[in-house]
Amino acid sequence: MRAGQLVVATPQLGDPNFARTVVLLLQVNDDGALGVVLNRPTETEVAEVLPLWAPLAAAPPTVFAGGPVQPQAAICLGRGRPGYLTVPGFAQVDGLPDGALGTIDLDGSPDDLHRAVSEVRLFAGYAGWSAGQLEAEIGEGAWWVLDALPADAFAVQPELLWRQVLLRQGPPIAFAASYPADPKLN
């Protein structure tokens, strides 16, 4: 497991904070792991909270619930343009193609990053695990560790992302994409 990979909730994961979520890992080290939930858009428009960044907001241009940890904190991801790997305010996400995806320093000006970043997505909060915690949850069958595509962070229909990521894996994981939300109703 490394930064730039996805942890995708298995149907058995019952925690309502993470049921059917797709989490992009941004940092994995000896202290634990940190990521953002890619498929939980909120009703809050980016223009309401960060109007200067709204012109760069990817569709849907809403703030996403990045996870239950520090929901008042903001993490911004940007889709990098080729040739702009060393622009101040853009820190590449390891494990993905060069410049494909990075975190954005929201204290900077969007005008300074407009040439380097084609679009951004804003997350309120993040998902975090202490040392060994995520590995234990994976061992219990709560998560699949899967390769990410840079486009995953900018899904136009984020409510379909969990299913789409599972389907592209092929059997047996792809079978879980049809798993009912409530198996008792099946």
Residue pLDDT, tens place only, 56-112: 999 999 999 999 999 999 999 999 887 766 677 888 888 877 778 899 999 888 888
Measured over all CA atoms, what is the biggest interatomic distance in the chain, rounded to whole angstroms? 52
Note the pLDDT of residue 178. Answer: 84
Number of domains in the chain: 1
In angstroms, rounded to a whole number, what is the distance separating the alpha carbons of residues 177 and 21? 12
Residue 122 has pLDDT above 70, yes or no: yes
Give the CA distances from residue 129 to residues 37, 137, 174, in Å, rounded to whole numbers and listed in that order. 13, 10, 26
Return d(Cα 143, Cα 138) in angstroms, integer.
5
For residue 111, give the CATH number of its domain: 3.40.1740.10
Domain span at 67: 5-185
Q: Is the pLDDT of residue 154 over 70?
A: yes
Q: DSSP 3-state assignment of 151?
A: helix
Distance CA 135, CA 93 (A): 21
Tell how many helices (H) and how many strands (E) occur in the chain: 4, 10
Average pLDDT over the chain, rounded to whole? 90
- Predicted model pTM: 0.92
Which pLDDT belongs to residue 84?
Answer: 62
Q: What is the structure's pLDDT at 38?
A: 98
pLDDT band for position 116 (50/70/90)?
confident
